Amino acid sequence: MKKNLVLIISISLLISGCALHIHLDFLGEEEVHEVLLIKSPAKEKILILDVTGLISTTLNPGLFEREGDILSRIYYRLAKASEDKRVKALILRLDTPGGEVTASDILYNEILRFKEKTSIPVVGLMMGMATSGGYYVASACDYVIAHPSTITGSIGVISIFPNLQELFTKIGIKVNVIKSGKMKDSGSP
């Protein structure tokens, strides 16, 4: 009885672990949906793109999701928008803590290329959070709007260099540095 229970639990765990990696082809490619917010005779469109979560090149699909990584999604949607002459503005809705340096830089440059190719104004709308790479991506926009409660700031990394030289001298610690460049030991006593 215990062997059967252990076997059933093991098989269940194995199947559930694999389920996250199943891609069902019948779901097809990602579709872009247009939503009419207000009835109007205007033919022009405003594209809203969401940059949410970690900015990464890593694919993290759900069980029945075919959507790729954030860079692929944004690239695909920008390409579609650049073909649509009725798109007159882009709102990049940011709610991200940032992410990978390279992915953030690619996204930043994709926004710049889109602007150059289409001359469409881009608005960075910061929602709950737009820090690090999210802030960097926003800096590619023509206009940036942050809600009063948005957490934002800090492109890149800061360095803090406490001066411990007097302490080291007092307790008899000497530091010998071997370096190849003039600033290689920046921050060392």
Per-residue tokens: 173? 């610690």
The mean pLDDT value for 154-176 works out to: 79
C-alpha closest to that of 49 among 68, 73, 28: 73
106 pLDDT above the threshold of 90: yes
Catalytic residue numbers read 132, 184
Binned at pLDDT 50, 70 and 90, residue 28 comes out as: very low
Candidate ranges 63-67, 71-75, 99-103, 118-122; pick with highest mean pLDDT: 118-122
For the chain, list the domains and their CATH numbers.
Answer: 43-159 (3.90.226.10)
- Number of neighbours of residue 125 by Cβ within 10 angstroms: 21
Phi, psi dihedrals of residue 46, rounded to the nearest 5°: -120, 120
**48: which strand partners?**
91
How many angstroms separate the CA atoms of 16 and 155, rounded? 39
Share of the chain above pLDDT 90, in %: 39
Q: How far is CA 146 from the centre of its chain?
A: 17
Instruction: Enter the pTM of the model.
Output: 0.64
CB atoms within 10 A of CB 126: 23
Residue 21 has pLDDT above 90, yes or no: no
Q: Is 51 helix (H, G, I), strand (E, B) or coil?
A: strand
Q: Average of pLDDT values for 44-65? A: 78
pLDDT score for 188: 65
Which ranges constitute the DSSP H helices of the chain? 2-19, 70-83, 101-118, 133-138, 165-171
CA–CA dist 56, 72 (Å, integer): 10
pLDDT of residue 24: 40
pLDDT grade for 10, boundaries at 50, 70 and 90: low
Per DSSP bridges, beta strands 143-146 and 122-131 are parallel
Beta bridge partners of 99: 55
For the chain, what is the radius of gyration of the CA atoms?
25
User: 126 has which bridge partners?
Assistant: 94, 146
**Mapping DSSP to helix (H, G, I), strand (E, B) and coil, where does residue 89 land?**
strand
Q: For residue 10, how far is the Cα from the chain centroid? A: 36
Q: Supply 125's token pair.
A: 């709308």
pLDDT value of position 19: 44
